[in-house]
């Protein structure tokens, strides 16, 4: 059994660096944390 390669298949992409991964998570995570915090604060006001 021989292995055939597909010449039209895309080349494998480079792995992302740790710094770029951290920046990407901050880009998503900071607004998420801010939104959850604001929701929590406004929900607490309902119970006062």
pTM of the predicted protein model = 0.57
Give the pLDDT confidence of 30-47 residue by residue, as tens digits.
999 999 999 999 999 998
Mean pLDDT across the chain: 85
Length in residues, the chain: 48
pLDDT value of residue 41: 96
pLDDT value of residue 48: 86
pLDDT value of residue 12: 58
Q: How far is CA 12 from CA 9, 15, 18, 20, in A?
A: 9, 9, 18, 18
């Amino acid at each position: 059994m021989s292995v055939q390669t597909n010449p039209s298949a895309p080349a494998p992409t480079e792995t992302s660096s740790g710094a770029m991964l951290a920046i990407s998570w901050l880009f998503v995570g900071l607004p998420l944390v801010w939104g959850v915090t604001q929701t929590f604060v406004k929900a607490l006001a309902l119970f006062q």
